Amino acid sequence: MLQQANSETQVKPARDWLKKLAPYREPNLLRSIVELVITGAPFVVLWIAAWWAMSISYWLTLAISIPAAGFLVRLFLIQHDCGHGAFFRNRKLNDWVGRVIGVFTLTPYDDWRHSHAIHHASTGNLEKRGIGDINTLTVREYRALPRWRRIAYRLYRNPIVMFGIGPAYVYLLRNRLPFNLTEASARQWISTMGTNAAIILIAGIIAYTVGAGSFLLVHLPITLLAASMGVWLFYVQHQFEDTVWNESESWNVHEAALYGSSHYDLPGVLRWFSANIGVHHVHHLSSGIPYYRLSQVLRDFPELVEVRRLTLWKSFSTVKLKLWDEAQQRLVSFQEARRHKSNAA
């Protein structure tokens, strides 16, 4: 599968790219500060505008919530770069900016950074699934489940749950405790509880100023919409037909990073709001590259553009993919898995 990918796209083995990508890992302090300002300031302005718009029409408030949610997603992606130590040279500055943003994104920075690091270190490894990724079963595993667990998995992978109920649960409830309760370190507990306390304090001040009802009517739609946007972006980064999954003995972290992650080739405006996270194959291969330098990588190395490329329109078809077919080495739908079983029989 990987050899075929290399042949089709005419790119070198993944590991060979590390040295070429190393120069792009250097952040620019001024650029990072500008990115932070042009993301955080419009979010605050739009939030105030959405609150003010309630005096005219709540529909106007909801309309303003859409771009506000886009800026909130962008704030999360700055937090994401901080977690990789990519946004600033100084590690402490990365961490504290990430922690502050985590209050607004409802994501405890240190706890999230820990699980996200595991995701990067194990992406595409069938024996290390379940931390920081979308739960994905193989066809064989799914068929071995009792009926009630197959139903539960189908519900989990249902688009309404995956992109609606699920994001709301994760950001409003699940993130209020460390990801792994039994193995969480003191730092993860402090991060989670500290973030919760800061959320209560800031939300309380705003609610006291504008009224609790107004606060919820403005902030809840923004948060829920941003959560769904974020989960969708994360979903398409690894849940596409020709992604890569392997057992540990045949798994390679660099190959899985480059070929198990998509290049989500979005229109310019959406690319800006998503902070180039669509260039995910390059990000996974060299996570220390600041998001504002990922476009430059594609300009300098056009051969990387077509590697696992997904357009916006094509990405919608990934929703039907639910299971990893080890025989065909690709993600398939429930219908395809059932049809393949019938053909084999």
Looking at residue 259, what is its pLDDT? 94
Mean pLDDT value of segment 28-44: 98
Structure tokens at 133: 């990724």
Are the C-beta atoms of residues 217 and 58 closer than 8 Å to each other? yes
Q: What CA–CA distance (Å, rounded) separates 206 from 344?
A: 61
Looking at residue 257, what is its pLDDT? 94
Q: What CA–CA distance (Å, rounded) separates 274 from 183?
A: 32
- Identify which of 171, 177, 206, 208 has the alpha carbon closest to the alpha carbon of residue 194: 177
More confident residue, 179 or 223: 223
Domain count, the chain: 1
Q: What confidence tier does 4 reach under pLDDT thresholds 50, 70, 90?
A: very low
DSSP code of residue 311: E
pLDDT beyond 60 at 293: yes
* pLDDT tens per residue, range 114-172: 999 999 999 999 998 878 889 999 999 999 999 999 999 999 999 999 999 999 999 99
* pLDDT tens per residue, range 253-274: 999 999 999 999 999 999 999 9
* pLDDT tens per residue, range 103-124: 999 999 999 999 999 999 999 9
Q: What CA–CA distance (Å, rounded) separates 284 from 345?
A: 39
Q: What confidence tier does 2 reach under pLDDT thresholds 50, 70, 90?
A: very low
pLDDT beyond 90 at 343: no
Structure tokens at 90: 């100084």
Mean pLDDT value of segment 32-40: 98
The pLDDT > 70 percentage for the chain reads 95
Q: Alpha carbon 85 to chain centroid distance?
A: 17
Looking at residue 1, what is its pLDDT? 45
* pLDDT tens per residue, range 56-106: 999 999 999 999 999 999 999 999 999 999 999 999 999 999 999 999 999
Looking at residue 341, what is its pLDDT? 64
The pLDDT > 90 percentage for the chain reads 88
Residue span of the structural domain in which 207 resides: 2-344
Structure tokens at 21: 């990508």
* Helix (H/G/I), strand (E/B), else coil: 332: strand
pLDDT beyond 70 at 7: no
- Identify which of 122, 80, 145, 220 has the alpha carbon closest to the alpha carbon of residue 212: 220
More confident residue, 305 or 182: 305
What's this model's pTM, rounded to 2 decimal places? 0.93
Are the C-beta atoms of residues 189 and 177 closer than 8 Å to each other? no
* pLDDT tens per residue, range 297-339: 999 999 999 999 999 999 999 999 999 999 899 999 999 988 8
pLDDT beyond 60 at 3: no
Q: Which residue has the tokens 């190395």?
A: 301
